[in-house]
Amino acid sequence: METRYTSLVSIVEDNDMSSNRTQKPSKRAQPGDAEAQRIVEAARAHFFSHGFRSVTMDDLAEELAISKKTLYAHFPSKIALLEAVLADKFASVEAKLEEIKRAYPHDFPAALHELLANTQRELDEIKPPFVRDMRQKAPQVFKIVERRRAELIQRFFGKLFAEGQRTGMVRKDLPAQLIIEILLAAVQAIVNPAKVEELGLTPRTGFASVVKVVLEGVITRKGRKT
């Protein structure tokens, strides 16, 4: 019988499964600030696909049919716009993870399945040129990514592993917090611009590999059954 865990591993390994389902960015504008959100969404599409070095503020202003003065009134620099794009990305990720947590409060396999699937879809948006530019041009901004990423892993996967231990689907001889710390350390060491480039990975494949190694070590036989 094919197990739920086998399906989880296939999720983190199979690029086609996620690439066939496109998820539109969530709108995260402040009330009355639709123009700023429009700028963020345009920048997000270009930055994540092509890198932010090759996309100029002039390009964005022309595409959006606004003046450079208007663009700079909202975002005084490209770095400020990059930070807004990352904030928008994390807001959409957090909203989806909250939705999954509410939908599967006591179903460990289903919640883990959905959390991993959603994470892979979100990482699919980030292409190698963006990773390259983060490493070369904005390493300080990546600190924001690391901090927010750690917060989300702690918040959602931490509670999930604790629930898995309660139901006998995660090993109980390891504290749930220790499992999370191991996951965080591995993600920080591997899923960063310098390392993914060195190893020829993408953020998606790097995260998938880390999660696969951690899950194979902590999920019990019961947790691998449907």
Q: What global pTM score does this model have?
A: 0.79
Q: How high is the pLDDT of residue 220?
A: 84
| More confident position, 9 or 152 | 152
- Span 47-59, pLDDT tens digits: 999 999 999 999 9
Taking CA atoms, 94 is separated from 11, 30, 147, 207, in Å, by 20, 17, 14, 17
Is residue 10 very low, low, confident or very high in pLDDT (cuts 50, 70, 90)?
A: very low
- Span 84-114, pLDDT tens digits: 999 999 999 999 999 999 999 989 999 999 9
- Does 221 score more than 70 pLDDT? yes
Contact 108, 169 (CB under 8 A): yes
What is the rounded distance in angstroms from the CA atom of residue 9 to the CA atom of residue 32?
43
Q: Is the dihedral of CA 126, 132, 137, 141 positive or negative?
A: positive
| 3-state SS assignment for residue 175 | coil
Percent of the chain exceeding pLDDT 90 equals 73
Lowest-confidence segment of 2-11, 163-172, 209-218 by average pLDDT: 2-11
Element holding 55 (H helix, E strand): none
Q: What is the mean pLDDT of the chain?
A: 85
- Does 26 score more than 90 pLDDT? no
Q: Report, in angstroms and rounded to the nearest whole number, the Rg of the chain calculated over CA atoms.
A: 19
| 3-state SS assignment for residue 111 | helix
Is residue 225 very low, low, confident or very high in pLDDT (cuts 50, 70, 90)?
A: low
The pair of three-digit structure tokens given for residue 40, joined into one six-digit string? 């963020």
Q: How high is the pLDDT of residue 217?
A: 86
